[in-house]
Structure 1
Amino acid sequence: MLGYEFVTLTDEQKAARRHLLDLYGNIGQWSILVVLILLQLAFFIRWAIFRTVRAERPRSPHPNKVMDFGTRAWYWRLEDQITRFRWWANQSLREGWFTKGECVLGLVWTLWLLFLSVHRTGNDYLHLTKRFGMVAASQLPLQYILAMRSAYSPIQALTRLSYERVIAIHELLGKILTVFFGLHAMFYLNFFIQAGVLSKRIREVDVITGLIGFIMFSTMSTTALSFIRHWNYRVFYTTHILLAIILVDVLIFHVSHIRNYVFEMLAIFVLLQIIRQAKTRQLPGSIALIPGTNLVQVTVPLSSDKDVKKFKPGQHVHLSRPPLGPPTLNWANAFAQRYRTNPFTIASIPAKDKQLLLVARTLAGNTTHLAAIAQSQRTTTDGTPPSIPLTIEGPYGACLPDFRTFDAVLLVAGGVGATFAVPLFRSLTEGGGGPDDAAAPVVLRTRIQLVWAVRRLAETRWAFPASSPSKQQDDAPPPSSSSSRNPPPSPGSDNHGVDIFVTRGGGGGDGAEEVDRRLLADEDEDIELAEMSAVARGEEEGEEGEGYEEKLHRHTVSRGRPDLAAVVDDAFSVSTGAVAVLVCGPSGMVRELRRHVGVWVGRGRAVFWHAEAFGF
């Protein structure tokens, strides 16, 4: 087979083969350190260069002009090329796939592992077979580290990547290792068949555990596919957690040569559980339906300063599935509280509001369960949701830059994607992004704009609480209800405003339905959970109700779909400096917005781009 043969080795040759197997396994494991060291060196060089020059990035003399870096210093030309490469690398090959940068990284790492698997194997077929398994096993500790859902993640700290990007690399490495383990199993089965010992070896422990381990690894890789996560997040998450635990036990009994890697996996897994337990707490909270919508909100008061300081806008937490009735002490409820969790964005400013607010659309799965709890409580109480114990793990995420360094910040949200955008907008305009700045705005000179597309106006009920300045401006004019795609500037401050677009109901007509098809067709990806059909809805009420006039002061409300091209052009045209663009919404909205922002990246503008999404 490809020049490899079944060779008979002496004891000395077998010892030499074992030495090479262990050597290349160790090289495979520790080679990631070389990558991280080179990355830190690159970060240091960049820091040293810009610390020395002490100069701001060159600005275009006119916002709409293309930046000319040809006459600039070499480091600015290099910085421009790096910016363009990052933009290219962050583009997905197609919807639901990895980004181009992740694919390049995966290809390079696959070729490196492939080299380690074949180098110095000679013509020994069994050496090749064993090497594939050893090299793949050497990556398992790294795979478990990449899965670390914590601010203490060393990979996240050393690479400066967001939690979502690190998890994407975790998924990519899992697929690579599935291929290598598959080749290892296939080569061994071919050897057993050719040698006529399949019926004998298939009953032995090392072969049985090897096949079970490969099936488990393949199952984890398969259930991590995006369409399965979107179909049923619970299947993905539960399968992943359970098999990750069992896989360690299976591999311990496979062969002794990989036990060092297995024990490292076990140590990392135990550390992960300790960190998760440290970040898990049970707090009293309430669950309620938002009238006129199919949204459910979870409110958790934060009474202590210690709790307030832990949570910040832009972060998310994992909420365990609460029991529908009085909790009972049994293994099923314990398992549900530990592993039947879903991610929810923190939709409030904890330092300012003194509470955690979680909002999600009611879809199949845990959100339906939350809606059922809210419905049962509403029918058995006087209208005020009772307090129940809620298990929360987190916070996670929020790897964001200092927005004071940008000339403009553009926040775009679709549906409940505003649970990410609204708290950021409020923290930048009202303050409260941290525990010590709840009174004063964080950003003064930066232009901050929030564009929010919703199906119904009622879906904005949760966004701006009574304590926010939005409700305190009694002398502000009422919001407009223009049907124009380009609404007038916000009647509030000159450098910040909110534009809300209602895409359905209230006379939207065929145009609103077209909006729903184009802009909100992917509502199942609409943030919190990757689950499909909507099955529970709150009670329907009118679009405008009591308190809406007051609530929407200093905001502009329009019918129809936002003109994202005009929104982007406006954000970049008001300044010549760096612009931060953050989006959280359906994939169609994200793709369209990215396309328009890409025009300005091509003109040499400094752009920070962040598309918030959940899938793990």
Structure 2
Amino acid sequence: MGLIWLKHPVLWHSSRMPSGYDYSKMTPEQVQLLRARWHNWYTADLDYCHTIVGFLCAGIGTMVILHLISLYRGRANMRRASLTPQFAGAVDRFTAAFRYVTSAQFRFKPLGYYSPPLGSVLGVGSIFIFVMSLLLAVRPYYWPNDAMGHSPPLATRSGWISVAIMPFMIAFATKINFVGILTGSSHEKLQVYHRWTALFMYITSLTHTFPFIVNNIRMGTMTASYKTSSFYWTGIAALVPQTYLIFLSWGIIRNRYYEMFKKIHFIASGIFMAALFIHCNFRLTSWDYFWATLAIYGSSWLLQVLRTLFISAFGLRSSIHQLSDPDMVKVTIEAPLRFKWKPGQHVFLRFLTAPGLHPLSTHPFTISNIPSEGMAGKQEVEVVFRVHGGITKALQKMAMDKATSRVFLDGPYGGLPVSLRGYDRVYLLSGGSGASFTLPLLMDLAKGLRGGIKCSHINFILAVRHLDSRSWMDSELALATKLAEEAGATLAVDFYVTGEDVAGTQPEAGSDKNADGKSVSESMREAKSIDSVKKTEGIEFATHAGRPNLPEIITKACASELGGRLAVAACGPQSFIYDIRNAVAQCELDIADGYGRCQEVYLHTEAYDW
């Protein structure tokens, strides 16, 4: 049996010199077809791989250009000398039309499914259409004459398309993400491209596999080919873990069993890549795409490890505290001053000495404070989160036991690509522990007011289940309010309490949907103000019973006579983000049509899950 791992001698590339053909058994037309572009087996890697690489690079290049334009507009906002509201010009209207695409979102109520933003849907859709067109446009799918080869054209091209997709699929998945650095997108926002390109690679892998099976069964050589050719069993060895990776990576499974999924995902990926490497067997330039994949993933992983060790050394001291809300916990980490972060960014924490937590796994948390000024030697990094289960439950137990742990700090990641300080008005909206994202943005704006930033109107809106859920941020909100008053700016803070009976009003169930499966804003379009406004350190904050009417809040903000440039930053459950996204998308259409009062609306959202 010829079951060998690799052909010998092992080379970088196999020869492009055609061999094994008996041209006497072919017609002149068949010989010409065999040597034509898109059909020639010995140049198929150049025809199909280079085409896929060129298309995906062109797509990334387009996003790089758009990101550079966005950065330029953001810096232009910071340099504006006048705060006089203006109406949208031609560039603003074009920008609004494009931002409609990046803002709008869809959902499928029966399954509770929320799509990625429309822009990502179009991006994924364009990749799918291009891949399928390249795969199916060229005819024939099978050779009309067995003398033309045992590799059906459909199988050949689909195999090369799969190999070409592979480096990009991995590039979209890494934490230190080179595509994200170029395009201004955080790694978690590129996960949608990682998942869908993995699915497209799986589809082309299947269309690579089955034509061989059909062809060999027709020729009566299936059993012999399997016993004598390593390509068949190595292909099966690659396809089995690939099938596992695809079907167990869907959100309904991934989110429910994430810790187990993450560990097995890496193991299955390693098996898949090793089997595929052997299966390709240095055919033409196939291994070049493995070296590219290794370079992308290896350099990203190495940079991540080196940065973590540079920041954390042998681990940083941390303390864990139970907040007044029994479902909220805060972790405070003593970090060196060399650790730098911006408001809205997140980190991955690896707890080294925490009982019940595996030191090999990392967990994402949003940094809930901003860098302190004038500290010597050390600074505090705080993360605040709601207890759900798993790691958060274990950390709550540690807080109750007054336990501590040393941690590795990996990050920061994410954040806003442009500063909110350049906008005339800013709306910060969050649901529950999403305030750990919006509160640092508020504090950054409040401190910037002393330096004369453009922003003069700030609205901080938070929906919580219980009144106690807001207590951990009261002192920061009081400070922000005082700084705003000193600078002559307007800061409005509104709390919406959804999980308990307040001032005689009857709230809804404590979840992001009611019994009818409606979204946050659909469930309660009117929220009633509480008569007794709570005071914190002499500062009054408006509190309401029920859920906020998010579309109405956004629509009124966009229709305000204040006009100017408006920024909206939000973090919360999917239904919360859905309402905000589509409300902003409608405002973008108004600006694009020339009817909007705002000159510009900028939107940035963060979701609880990726």
Q: Describe the shift of the 1:313–1:263 C-alpha distance in structure 2 as closer, same or farther (beyond 3 A).
A: same
Question: Which secondary structure does the structure 2 equivalent of 1:245 belong to?
Answer: helix
Structure 2 residue 550 is matched with structure 1 residue 564: yes
Question: CA offset at residue 51 of structure 1?
Answer: 11
Which residue of 190, 203, 218 maps to 1:194? 218
| Structure 2 equivalent of residue 350 of structure 1 | 371
- What aligned pairs does 1:563-582 form with structure 2 within 5 A after superposition? 563-572=549-558, 573-582=560-569
Structure 2 residue 610 is matched with structure 1 residue 585: no
In 2, Cα distance between equivalents of 1:50 and 1:586:
28
| Structure 2 equivalent of residue 382 of structure 1 | none
Which residue of 468, 473, 478 maps to 1:458? 468
Question: Which secondary structure does the structure 2 equivalent of 1:562 belong to?
Answer: coil
Q: Describe the shift of the 1:45–1:455 C-alpha distance in structure 2 as closer, same or farther (beyond 3 A).
A: closer
In 1, Cα distance between equivalents of 2:362 and 2:70:
40
Question: CA offset at residue 135 of structure 1?
Answer: 1.1
Which residue of 273, 276, 284 maps to 2:301? 273
Structure 2 residue 526 is matched with structure 1 residue 502: no
- For the 8 Å contact 1:522–1:588, the answer to whether it is kept is no
| Structure 2 equivalent of residue 537 of structure 1 | none
Which residue of 452, 455, 478 maps to 1:470? 478
Q: Letter of the aligned partner of 1:593 in structure 2?
A: I
| Structure 1 equivalent of residue 162 of structure 2 | 136
Question: CA offset at residue 129 of structure 1?
Answer: 0.5
Structure 2: stretches of 5+ with no match in the other structure? 1-19, 24-30, 108-112, 144-151, 521-533, 592-597
| Structure 2 equivalent of residue 317 of structure 1 | 347
- For the 8 Å contact 1:312–1:351, the answer to whether it is kept is no
Q: Describe the shift of the 1:17–1:570 C-alpha distance in structure 2 as closer, same or farther (beyond 3 A).
A: closer
In 2, Cα distance between equivalents of 1:406 and 1:559:
30
In 2, Cα distance between equivalents of 1:470 and 1:148:
39
| Structure 2 equivalent of residue 80 of structure 1 | 93
Question: Which secondary structure does the structure 2 equivalent of 1:284 belong to?
Answer: strand
In 2, Cα distance between equivalents of 1:205 and 1:442:
70
Question: CA offset at residue 586 of structure 1?
Answer: 1.8
In 2, Cα distance between equivalents of 1:374 and 1:428:
32
| Structure 1 equivalent of residue 325 of structure 2 | 292
Q: RMSD between aligned alpha carbons?
A: 4.0
| Structure 1 equivalent of residue 385 of structure 2 | 360
Structure 2 residue 354 is matched with structure 1 residue 305: no
Question: CA offset at residue 585 of structure 1?
Answer: 0.9
- For the 8 Å contact 1:568–1:597, the answer to whether it is kept is yes
| Structure 2 equivalent of residue 98 of structure 1 | 116
Q: Describe the shift of the 1:491–1:197 C-alpha distance in structure 2 as closer, same or farther (beyond 3 A).
A: farther
| Structure 1 equivalent of residue 230 of structure 2 | 205
Question: Which secondary structure does the structure 2 equivalent of 1:356 belong to?
Answer: strand
Q: Describe the shift of the 1:319–1:472 C-alpha distance in structure 2 as closer, same or farther (beyond 3 A).
A: closer
Question: Which secondary structure does the structure 2 equivalent of 1:292 belong to?
Answer: coil
Percentage identity across paired residues of the two chains: 21
| Number of residues of Structure 1 aligned to a counterpart in Structure 2 | 531
Question: CA offset at residue 110 of structure 1?
Answer: 2.3
Q: Describe the shift of the 1:300–1:440 C-alpha distance in structure 2 as closer, same or farther (beyond 3 A).
A: farther
Moved more, 278-287 or 219-228: 219-228
Deviations 1:247-292 (A, max 9, x none): 3222221122222212222222211220220232321101222233
- For the 8 Å contact 2:74–2:422, the answer to whether it is kept is no
Q: Describe the shift of the 1:232–1:279 C-alpha distance in structure 2 as closer, same or farther (beyond 3 A).
A: farther
Question: Which secondary structure does the structure 1 equivalent of 2:567 belong to?
Answer: strand
Question: Which secondary structure does the structure 2 equivalent of 1:97 belong to?
Answer: strand
Q: Letter of the aligned partner of 1:315 in structure 2?
A: Q
| Structure 1 equivalent of residue 125 of structure 2 | 107
| Structure 2 equivalent of residue 612 of structure 1 | 606
Question: CA offset at residue 406 of structure 1?
Answer: 1.3
- For the 8 Å contact 2:319–2:404, the answer to whether it is kept is yes
Question: Which secondary structure does the structure 2 equivalent of 1:25 belong to?
Answer: helix
Structure 2 residue 180 is matched with structure 1 residue 156: yes
| Structure 1 equivalent of residue 584 of structure 2 | 597
- For the 8 Å contact 2:172–2:187, the answer to whether it is kept is no
Q: Describe the shift of the 1:565–1:42 C-alpha distance in structure 2 as closer, same or farther (beyond 3 A).
A: closer
TM-score, scaled to structure 2:
0.76
- For the 8 Å contact 1:129–1:187, the answer to whether it is kept is yes
Q: Describe the shift of the 1:216–1:558 C-alpha distance in structure 2 as closer, same or farther (beyond 3 A).
A: same
Q: Describe the shift of the 1:471–1:40 C-alpha distance in structure 2 as closer, same or farther (beyond 3 A).
A: closer
- For the 8 Å contact 2:351–2:405, the answer to whether it is kept is no
| Structure 2 equivalent of residue 528 of structure 1 | none
| Structure 1 equivalent of residue 206 of structure 2 | 182
Question: CA offset at residue 608 of structure 1?
Answer: 0.7
- For the 8 Å contact 1:248–1:265, the answer to whether it is kept is no
| Structure 2 equivalent of residue 513 of structure 1 | 508
Q: Letter of the aligned partner of 2:413 in structure 1?
A: Y
Moved more, 446-455 or 232-241: 232-241
Question: CA offset at residue 80 of structure 1?
Answer: 1.4
| Structure 2 equivalent of residue 237 of structure 1 | 262
- For the 8 Å contact 1:286–1:386, the answer to whether it is kept is yes
Q: Describe the shift of the 1:40–1:260 C-alpha distance in structure 2 as closer, same or farther (beyond 3 A).
A: same
In 1, Cα distance between equivalents of 2:392 and 2:606:
20
Q: Describe the shift of the 1:346–1:59 C-alpha distance in structure 2 as closer, same or farther (beyond 3 A).
A: closer
Deviations 1:204-227 (A, max 9, x none): 532223223223233323333222
Q: Letter of the aligned partner of 1:127 in structure 2?
A: P
- For the 8 Å contact 1:317–1:344, the answer to whether it is kept is yes
TM-score, scaled to structure 1:
0.75
In 1, Cα distance between equivalents of 2:276 and 2:556:
57
Question: CA offset at residue 552 of structure 1?
Answer: 7.4
- For the 8 Å contact 1:522–1:586, the answer to whether it is kept is no
In 2, Cα distance between equivalents of 1:589 and 1:492:
32
- For the 8 Å contact 2:52–2:161, the answer to whether it is kept is yes
Question: Which secondary structure does the structure 1 equivalent of 2:434 belong to?
Answer: helix
| Structure 2 equivalent of residue 283 of structure 1 | 316
Q: Letter of the aligned partner of 1:416 in structure 2?
A: S
| Structure 2 equivalent of residue 395 of structure 1 | 412
In 1, Cα distance between equivalents of 2:260 and 2:548:
36
| Structure 2 equivalent of residue 425 of structure 1 | 442
- For the 8 Å contact 1:490–1:499, the answer to whether it is kept is no
Question: Which secondary structure does the structure 1 equivalent of 2:473 belong to?
Answer: coil
Q: Letter of the aligned partner of 1:470 in structure 2?
A: A
Q: Describe the shift of the 1:43–1:102 C-alpha distance in structure 2 as closer, same or farther (beyond 3 A).
A: closer
Q: Letter of the aligned partner of 1:129 in structure 2?
A: A
In 1, Cα distance between equivalents of 2:428 and 2:268:
39
Q: Describe the shift of the 1:522–1:217 C-alpha distance in structure 2 as closer, same or farther (beyond 3 A).
A: farther
- For the 8 Å contact 1:319–1:393, the answer to whether it is kept is yes
In 1, Cα distance between equivalents of 2:389 and 2:217:
47
| Structure 2 equivalent of residue 485 of structure 1 | none
Question: Which secondary structure does the structure 1 equivalent of 2:338 belong to?
Answer: helix
In 1, Cα distance between equivalents of 2:81 and 2:218:
65
- For the 8 Å contact 2:74–2:418, the answer to whether it is kept is no
In 2, Cα distance between equivalents of 1:496 and 1:33:
44
Deviations 1:135-181 (A, max 9, x none): 1111111111111212xx33223333343332222222122222111
In 2, Cα distance between equivalents of 1:472 and 1:156:
32
In 1, Cα distance between equivalents of 2:216 and 2:67:
50
In 2, Cα distance between equivalents of 1:142 and 1:90:
25
Question: CA offset at residue 566 of structure 1?
Answer: 4.6
Q: Describe the shift of the 1:160–1:44 C-alpha distance in structure 2 as closer, same or farther (beyond 3 A).
A: closer
- For the 8 Å contact 1:497–1:554, the answer to whether it is kept is no
Question: CA offset at residue 347 of structure 1?
Answer: 0.9
- For the 8 Å contact 1:490–1:498, the answer to whether it is kept is no
- For the 8 Å contact 1:409–1:447, the answer to whether it is kept is yes
Question: Which secondary structure does the structure 2 equivalent of 1:351 belong to?
Answer: coil
Moved more, 508-517 or 268-277: 508-517
Q: Describe the shift of the 1:183–1:414 C-alpha distance in structure 2 as closer, same or farther (beyond 3 A).
A: same
Q: Letter of the aligned partner of 2:307 in structure 1?
A: K
Question: CA offset at residue 48 of structure 1?
Answer: 9.7
In 2, Cα distance between equivalents of 1:234 and 1:110:
30
In 2, Cα distance between equivalents of 1:471 and 1:60:
28
